[in-house]
Amino acid sequence: MSETELCRCWKQETGAAYRDGELIYYGLKGSADISGIMRDGRRLEVEVKTGKAVQQENQKAFERMILTMKGVYFVARSVEDAILKLQAAATFCKM
């Protein structure tokens, strides 16, 4: 990880799909759309919402769990919003 990197992130897949005619659920219900690790080791979760969309109750519960465990969680409504919130979270990193 370079000195300028704030975190490492990946898409967190959750949902349902048919396989051989059977409905299969995958992922953790309520988990954020993007997961990652902050430079200082804290877990990062980003819920992506567009328009007037709001968090579901299971997403709010996941947010509470992450924050209780001292992780970073935020809702982003645009790339710019995500970058600003990520930079704000990184100011607390012990680099």
What letter does residue 12 receive in the DSSP assignment? -
Q: Write down the pLDDT at residue 10.
A: 94
Task: Encode pLDDT of 24-79 as tens digits.
Answer: 999 999 999 999 999 999 999 999 999 999 999 999 999 999 999 999 999 999 99
pLDDT at position 91: 81
pLDDT tens track for 64-91:
999 999 999 999 999 999 999 999 998 8
pTM, 2 dp: 0.85
**Residues 46, 32 contacting (CB under 8 angstroms):** yes
- Let me know the angle formed at the C-alpha of 86 by 9 and 36, rounded to the nearest 5 degrees: 20
Per-residue pLDDT for 95 more than 60?
no
pLDDT at residue 93 tops 70: no
| CATH number, span 7-90 | 3.40.1350.10
Q: Which amino acid is at 7?
A: C
